[in-house]
Amino acid sequence: MKRFLGFVKKEFQHIFRDYRTLFILFGIPAAQILIFGYAVSTDIKNAGVAVLDLSHDEITLKLTDKIFSSGFFKKTENLLNYEDIDKVFKKGKTKAVIVYEDDFGKKLISEGKASLSIISDGSEPNTATLITNYTTSIVNDFSVELAGPGLKNTIRISPEVKMLYNPSLKSHFMFVPGVITLILILICALMTSVTITREKEFGTMEVLLVSPLRPIQIILGKVMPYFFLSFVNVLLILLLSWLVFGLPVKGSIFLLLAECMLYILMSLTLGILISTVSKTMQQAIFISLIGLMLPTILLSGFIFPIENMPKIYDYVSSILPPRYFIVIIKNIMIKGTGFIYIWKETLILIVMTLVFIGLSVRKFKIRLE
Amino acid sequence: MNEKVIYVKNLVKKFGNFTANDNLSFEVFEGEIFGFLGANGAGKTTALRILSGLSKPTSGEVNVAGYDAYKQAEMIKRNIGYMCQKFSLYEDLTVKENIILYGGIYGMSKSLIRERLTNLLEKLHFQKDENRMISDLPLGLRQKLAFSVAVLHEPKIVFLDEPTGGVDPITRRQFWETIYETASRGITVFVTTHYMDEAEYCDRISIMNEGKIVALDTPEKLKKQYDAASVEEVFIKIARP
């Protein structure tokens, strides 16, 4: 045990003496949270919207007012006829046009039905979708407000399920859990794989292997300091996303932290596995960064929903640990669900951790033979 | 004769169909400086790994420091020191921290580490520099220090794997003085090297070729036997018959 503690102490000395390691460990996560949270924001603020009101009655005026008072949109122009729509889009500032049909208010009261179209600029598909969704949601609100008992389904636009847990449609809510998932696996895998390959490159690994330290002690000694520091990191990231983005943790904070620990441990053991297959630090860095970053961003459901992917990507994605952790963390943080809804994902992560440990110990032993 | 600290009989190590060590037999005695020579790929490293408890023999008897290489690899590890060609100290730790680390790994008590640390620094005239980073030290000094750390726990045997690779002749000479001094304390020194002039400093040398030991004796006797002026000539005659 004393041997082991001395070894762990040395690992801490390595970390605290190397400002680059500290920077990667704490600087990059903070920067990524802020960059992803702000820059990659898909929120809409003051998007240009024009109105073509062919009815021009009390109800359409009210609804238009409500739409623009939301803060998401800025009225660019009042249009007079259909021909203007094309022109106004070409000017570039307008991203969508809202069109009320003739006698909108009258029809709504007499027939209980009226139609309104939202024409958006498809050359920016993301913005277009978002504006459409935002407007739809406002219109639905309005129809509910307006609806007397006889006026149900006045305006037929179905509500989007996507907004259910993110009513103000803040994209931070979507991104922050994803970013946490991404950076934890990157940092943890990178750190452990580099620290082990570094010893290989400098030749100190030989000396450690010849020493009375057991391989398992060497592995644990490498993992423990980073486990501790990564956990501190998690606390920092959560604090940061709460302070800056107001992202709450709706579910149990203890459950969240426990799941984070599991995920950190999984990532660290993955790092060890990477180190056993790479000979140099460069190789380890390459595998950890490129090999983990792209699949995590593209295939884990971080940005693109897995349900929309071709089946083959779905299969590929199912071997990616982040896919499961994203589900876990979103469930706990945003939906506030308990363990009962995420036990499957948790179990998968546990199994993956065990597999990684098993493989690394085996690889380690083969190297000894 | 002194006590045998390494006893190897009919050692064979195979990797699949490839025989890396083919029927090696030799003995090394207490306090001896034993040179283990051979071209690259001759099987030196494989043998060294077996002797230091890192790898198990395929067949044959191997006994190091009184322990059996099949069953007591852990005990072997505790009783040997090891220094490799690549530098074995941590460059981002200080002299003192390195010594405390290795002392701790070999299970030495705090007071013992402290005592040896003081002696060591005194011997190397190095008292003022205990808090300097290894990366700030000149190469020759690092090497001496690495060697002193490898024998810090007073092992029965110390294995040196090409310890003087890439070092200038004067520093090598100084390094060998440290080796002599250590051997005189009764620690067996088992050294592999590429430098044939270094082989002359050894009490006995063995020369390996294609997995077999083809010569084993004192440098003088080998030179006589092969009618050569230096170990280098002996080596060339053996390697290219």
Is residue B68 a part of any domain in this protein? Answer: no
pLDDT of residue A40: 59
**Is residue A147's pLDDT more than 80?**
no
Q: Inter-chain contact A202–B87, Cβ cutoff 8 Å?
A: yes
**Contact residues on chain B for A369, CB-CB shorter than 8 A:** 55-56
pLDDT of residue A162: 33
- Tell me the two tokens of residue A314: 């779905």
pLDDT tens digits, one per residue of B151-203:
999 999 999 988 877 778 888 888 888 899 999 999 999 998 878 888 888 99
Q: Of the candidates A113, A79, A115, which has an alpha carbon nearest to the alpha carbon of residue A97?
A: A79
Q: Give the Cβ contact number of residue B231 at 10 Å.
A: 26
Q: Inter-chain contact A5–B104, Cβ cutoff 8 Å?
A: yes
Q: Inter-chain contact B90–A203, Cβ cutoff 8 Å?
A: no
Q: Which helix (H) or strand (E) holds B18?
A: strand B18-29
Q: How far is A25 from chain B (nearest CA, A)?
A: 18
Inter-chain contacts counted by CB atoms under 8 A, chains A and B: 77
Q: Inter-chain contact A369–B55, Cβ cutoff 8 Å?
A: yes
**Contact residues on chain A for B149, CB-CB shorter than 8 A:** none
**Cα separations (Å) of B57 from A128, B14, B69, B226?**
70, 8, 8, 32
**Contact residues on chain B for A194, CB-CB shorter than 8 A:** none
Please, what sign has the CA dihedral across residues B37, B41, B45, B47?
negative
Residues of chain A with CATH 3.40.1710.10: 47-163
Contact A76, A93 (CB under 8 A): yes
Phi and psi at residue B11, in whole multiples of 5°? -70, 125
CA B162 to chain centre: 8
Q: What is the DSSP letter of B132?
A: S
Q: How far is A273 from chain B (nearest CA, A)?
A: 20
pTM exceeds 0.90 for this model: no
- pLDDT (average), residues A303-331: 85
**Is residue A113's pLDDT more than 90?**
no
**Contact residues on chain A for B103, CB-CB shorter than 8 A:** 6
pLDDT tens digits, one per residue of A253-279:
999 999 999 999 999 999 999 988 888
Q: Inter-chain contact B54–A210, Cβ cutoff 8 Å?
A: yes
Contact B88, B150 (CB under 8 A): yes
What's the rounded Cα separation, in Å, for the pair A56 and A49?
Answer: 17
Q: How far is A235 from chain B (nearest CA, A)?
A: 29
Can you name the residues that pair with A100 across neighbouring β-strands?
A53, A116
Interface test with B, best of A206, A210, A368 (most B CBs within 10 A): A210
Q: Inter-chain contact B101–A7, Cβ cutoff 8 Å?
A: yes
**Is residue A9's pLDDT more than 50?**
yes
Could you list the beta-strand ranges (E) of B95-240. Answer: 157-161, 188-192, 204-209, 212-217
Contact B50, B13 (CB under 8 A): yes
Among candidates A2, A13, A212 on the partner chain, residue whose Cβ is nearest the Cβ of B93: A13
What is the number of helices (H) and of strands (E) in chain A? Answer: 15, 4
pLDDT of residue A270: 92
Q: What is the CATH number of the domain that holds B195?
A: 3.40.50.300
Residues of chain A whose beta carbon is less than 8 angstroms from a beta carbon of chain B are 2-3, 5-7, 9-10, 13-14, 17-18, 202-204, 206-213, 368-369
Q: Which residues of A292-317 are buried (b: 16+ CB within 10 A; e: fewer)?
A: beebbebbbbbeeebeebeeeeeeeb
What's the rounded Cα separation, in Å, for the pair B29 and B3?
Answer: 6
pLDDT of residue B241: 58
pLDDT tens digits, one per residue of A285-302:
888 888 888 888 888 877
Q: Inter-chain contact A202–B107, Cβ cutoff 8 Å?
A: no
Is residue B65 a part of any domain in this protein? Answer: no
Q: How far is A12 from chain B (nearest CA, A)?
A: 11
Among A35-44, A187-196, A259-268, B7-16, whose mean pLDDT is lowest? A35-44
**Domain that residue B233 falls in:** 32-55+73-239
Q: Inter-chain contact A212–B105, Cβ cutoff 8 Å?
A: yes
Which fold is adopted by the domain A47-163? Answer: abc type-2 transporter like fold (3.40.1710)
**Contact residues on chain A for B104, CB-CB shorter than 8 A:** 2-3, 5-7
**Is residue A159's pLDDT more than 80?**
no
Q: Inter-chain contact B52–A2, Cβ cutoff 8 Å?
A: no
What's the rounded Cα separation, in Å, for the pair B79 and B68?
Answer: 12
pLDDT of residue A166: 46
Is residue B225 a part of any domain in this protein? Answer: yes
Q: Inter-chain contact A10–B83, Cβ cutoff 8 Å?
A: no
- In terms of CA atoms, which chain A residue is nearest residue B153? A211
Is residue B82 a part of any domain in this protein? Answer: yes
Interface test with B, best of A17, A207, A365 (most B CBs within 10 A): A207
pLDDT of residue A161: 33
Please report, in tens digits, the pLDDT of each residue of chain B (241 residues total).
578 899 999 999 998 888 889 999 999 999 999 999 888 778 888 899 899 888 889 999 999 999 998 988 889 999 999 988 776 788 889 999 999 999 999 988 889 999 999 888 888 787 788 888 888 888 888 888 888 899 999 999 999 988 877 778 888 888 888 899 999 999 999 998 878 888 888 999 999 888 888 889 998 898 898 888 888 888 888 876 5
Total domains in the fold of chain B: 1
What's the rounded Cα separation, in Å, for the pair A80 and A73?
Answer: 20
Q: Inter-chain contact B82–A210, Cβ cutoff 8 Å?
A: yes
Interface test with A, best of B45, B67, B83, B88 (most A CBs within 10 A): B88
Is residue B63 a part of any domain in this protein? Answer: no
Residue of A325 and A71 predicted with greater confidence: A325
What's the rounded Cα separation, in Å, for the pair A197 and A14?
Answer: 14
Q: Inter-chain contact B105–A368, Cβ cutoff 8 Å?
A: no
What is the side-by-side order of every strand in the sheet holding A73-79?
A73-79, A47-53, A94-100, A116-120
- pLDDT (average), residues A142-151: 65
